[in-house]
Amino acid sequence: MGPDRVILVEGETATEADLACVALVNYGAYTSFRVKADGVRGLDLHLARLEASAIELFGESPGEARLRDLMRRAVAGRDQAWLRVSLFAPEIRPREAGWHGCPRVMTVTSPPPPPLATAARVQPLPYGREAAHLKHTAGFGLIRARREAMAAGFDDALFVDAQGLIAEGTLWNIGFIRGQTVVWPLAPMLAGVTQALIDRGLVTIGLEAASEPVRLDVLDGFDSAFLCNSATPACAVTAIGTVAYPAADAAIARLREAWRSNPCQSI
């Protein structure tokens, strides 16, 4: 394990048994975010995500105080870092799936990654993540879709259903701008933390938000499109399939301003 990446379980160095469990059993949930000396944007949302996921998947939660303590241990001594907080249970295996209790907490600390892109062309592909409302560890489908899109000459994949209803991207949410309104797709999807932070800050830049079904056949009705996730506050989507959008630098700058209007929260 390189010095830049540190994996802890319950605040202690991960054991071979811990790593084997996570590698061999694809059942769990996580959240990930950038940590700076002054804290984390949207920490309350990340904690709420872990709480809800723990209760739904395992039956109990470690609780906010425990999660905060383990996060502090994970980033101690670092001015900035990327932190992934995962929940798993060695007691749950394919042949023994009935266990209920408090999951274990794995933290992975590494250098912050760069944004996904400065602009992206995405390919609509028919796919929907299982239990889309959860940020779970089952990544086969989304990685396969991203590889397919890249092989076709695109930067990433955008998930749509059989009727062309748009949901989300592989690792990100998509939003559209129509006039003075940011439109989020209404479909089964993961409610992103960055998406929520942009929503919270829209009032500071004079925009409003709406959620509505967005299908491929109505894409010409929007002025521009963007993607967002914890590593990428806002990035222009310049094409969805054959539908092209302008880079809209001014609009992207305003969305980033909305995101920045959220103060960092101390762990």
Identify whether residues 133 and 197 lie together within a single domain. Answer: yes
Burial 103-125 (b: 16+ CB within 10 A, else e): bbbbbbbbeeeeebbebbbbbbb
Question: Tokens at residue 213, please?
Answer: 């079904």
Q: Is residue 136 one of the residues assigned to a domain?
A: yes
CATH classification at residue 240: 3.20.10.10
CB 159 within 8 A of CB 145: yes
Q: Is residue 86 one of the residues assigned to a domain?
A: yes
Identify whether residues 233 and 143 lie together within a single domain. Answer: yes
* Domain end point (choices 110, 135, 151): 110
Range of the domain at 180: 119-265
pLDDT tens series, the chain, 267 aa: 456 899 999 999 999 999 999 999 999 999 999 999 889 999 999 999 999 999 999 999 999 999 999 999 999 999 999 999 999 999 999 999 999 999 999 999 999 999 999 999 999 999 999 999 999 999 999 999 999 999 999 999 999 999 999 999 999 999 999 999 999 999 999 999 999 999 999 999 999 999 999 999 999 999 999 999 999 999 999 999 999 999 899 999 999 999 999 999 999
CATH classification at residue 15: 3.30.470.10
In whole angstroms, what is the distance from residue 62 CA to residue 170 CA? 28
Question: Tokens at residue 75, please?
Answer: 């980033």
Question: Tokens at residue 11, please?
Answer: 């605040």
Report the C-alpha dihedral over residues 161, 167, 170, 176, rounded to 10 degrees.
Answer: 130
* Domain end point (choices 87, 110, 133): 110
Reference 152, options 246, 245, 247, 241; nearest CA is 241
Q: Report pTM.
A: 0.96
pLDDT at res. 107: 98
Identify whether residues 189 and 157 lie together within a single domain. Answer: yes
Identify whether residues 211 and 184 lie together within a single domain. Answer: yes
Q: Is residue 177 one of the residues assigned to a domain?
A: yes
Identify whether residues 88 and 199 lie together within a single domain. Answer: no
pLDDT at res. 53: 98
DSSP classification of residue 171: S
Identify whether residues 14 and 57 lie together within a single domain. Answer: yes
pLDDT at res. 239: 98
Rg, C-alpha atoms of the chain: 19
pLDDT at res. 3: 63
* Domain end point (choices 110, 135, 152): 110
Identify whether residues 231 and 125 lie together within a single domain. Answer: yes
pLDDT at res. 247: 86
Cα 127–Cα 86–Cα 116 angle in degrees, nearest 5:
55
DSSP string covering 64-94, please? HHHHHHHHHHHHTT-SEEEEEEEEE-TT-BT
pLDDT at res. 200: 97
In whole angstroms, what is the distance from residue 58 CA to residue 101 CA? 6
Identify whether residues 261 and 158 lie together within a single domain. Answer: yes
Identify whether residues 127 and 215 lie together within a single domain. Answer: yes
pLDDT at res. 92: 97
Residue given tokens 């800050």 in the structure block: 201
**Number of domains composing the chain:** 2
pLDDT at res. 2: 52
What backbone torsions phi and psi does residue 110 show, to the nearest 5 degrees? -150, 170
pLDDT at res. 38: 82
pLDDT at res. 40: 98
CB 108 within 8 A of CB 83: yes
* The length of the chain, given as a count of residues: 267
Please, how many CA atoms are within 13 Å of residue 128, restricted to the half-sphere of its CB?
A: 15
Residues 6+ apart with CB under 8 A from 1: 7
Identify whether residues 62 and 191 lie together within a single domain. Answer: no
Q: At 31, is the secondary structure helix, strand, or coil?
A: strand
Identify whether residues 134 and 240 lie together within a single domain. Answer: yes
Q: Is residue 1 one of the residues assigned to a domain?
A: no
Q: Is residue 84 one of the residues assigned to a domain?
A: yes
DSSP classification of residue 12: E
Identify whether residues 101 and 208 lie together within a single domain. Answer: no
In whole angstroms, what is the distance from residue 143 CA to residue 128 CA? 12
In whole angstroms, what is the distance from residue 58 CA to residue 61 CA? 8
